[in-house]
Amino acid sequence: MVKKPELLVTPRDIDALERLFNAGADAAIIGEERYGLRLAGEFPRDDIKRAVEIAHNQNKKLYVAMNALFHNDKVGELADYVSFLNEVNIDAIVFGDPAIVMTVREVASSMPLHWNTETTATNWFTANYWGRRGAKRAVLARELSMDAIIEMKENAEVEIEVQVHGMTCMFQSKRTLIGNYMQFQGKNLEVERRDKDRQLYLFDHEREARYPIFEDENGTHIMSPNDICIIDELEEMVDANIDSFKIDGILKSTEYMEEVTKLYREAIDLCVSDRDRYEDKKEMYVERLEQLQPRHRKLDTGFFFKETVY
């Protein structure tokens, strides 16, 4: 029996969370930059508590990201943060570091865990390894083909989450590369802000490609020049019972995310319940999304239908 996959989003604030739930999202990932990688927005503890109330009042789920690269200086903070998340009753912690697993075992043993290292979830053996160590879900790497995704689901002992829309990370360094460059140039770092709102790009003249780049507490991040979009290619994953489809909202406005969420909500529902209507409306979905895209950001299918080249 085909089940309806979860539609997962990444809101930038409380207002966005409410609007995306109203647009049809089933779940959201939020968190603090100190503990989570490449979040759409910053949610301090009071906002997390409020977000849980909003989600659970609507029978939605709320996950908190703790998938940053942790060094010794932060390990001592993890237990307090995990305890807080357990107290406010979030639905799962998204993790990449075994330190989170060990901390959860110590202070919140019943807390569900979603394994997400961004890049290393590339085979079902590894997904099951983390499943046997407490993970309920594996978040697959963005560089996998559709065939590889289906094969992983067939052999996985855990839930499988796949990104279906939005930009992806191409490079991360713990070093403050933009800050170092600006310092070399003799520029004032406070004036020349380096965060996501600064809208800095690396520009490839040959390919006419703009790579968004920003710096935060976790280092320097370079993002893809195009956005993934497979709203017209959902059938195989729906039929394979992939558990969660994620729309990544980093560097996107709430208005954009709201419209994209509505379109995917309709597409997923039709793909499950009325395949013929879904087939008939595919082109319309893609055309509508192309209209929503910023002028310099094209849509493509990522690595779903091409071989990864290293």
DSSP label at residue 196: G
Whether the Cβ atoms of residue 49 and residue 32 lie closer than 8 Å to each other = no
Q: Would you say residue 310 has pLDDT above 50?
A: no
Neighbour-count burial for 174-213, b at 16+ CB within 10 Å, e otherwise: eebbbeeebeeeeeeeeeeebebeeebbeeeeeeebbbbb
Nearest to 115 by CA among 6, 213, 244: 244
Residue type, 41: G
Nearest to 300 by CA among 117, 120, 142: 142
Mean pLDDT of 108-130: 94
SS3 162: strand
Q: Would you say residue 20 has pLDDT above 50?
A: yes
Whether the Cβ atoms of residue 71 and residue 93 lie closer than 8 Å to each other = no
pLDDT, residue 305, reads 84
170 vs 83 pLDDT, higher one: 83
d(CA 284, CA 260): 13
Structural domains of the chain in order of their starting residue, each with its CATH number: 6-167+227-294 (3.20.20.70), 172-221 (no CATH)
At residue 112 the predicted structure's pLDDT band, cuts being 50, 70 and 90, is: very high
- Contacting residues for 69 by C-beta, under 8 A, at least 6 apart: 37, 96, 97, 174, 218, 219
At residue 216 the predicted structure's pLDDT band, cuts being 50, 70 and 90, is: confident
Q: What does pLDDT average to over the chain?
A: 89
Number of C-beta neighbours around residue 47 at 10 A: 16
pLDDT, residue 183, reads 56
Q: What is the pLDDT of residues 255-271, one digit of tens each?
A: 999 999 999 999 999 99
Whether the Cβ atoms of residue 238 and residue 272 lie closer than 8 Å to each other = yes
Mean pLDDT of 299-303: 86
Q: Which of 53-67, 134-148, 220-234 has the least mean pLDDT?
A: 220-234
Q: Strand 200-204 and strand 209-216: pairing?
A: antiparallel
Q: Which of 18-27, 72-81, 196-205 has the least mean pLDDT?
A: 196-205
Please tell me which of 161-175, 185-199, 205-219 the model is most confident about, judged by mean pLDDT.
161-175
Q: Would you say residue 232 has pLDDT above 60?
A: yes
d(CA 112, CA 237): 24
pLDDT, residue 210, reads 79
Q: Which of 137-141, 172-176, 300-304 has the least mean pLDDT?
A: 172-176
pLDDT, residue 192, reads 46
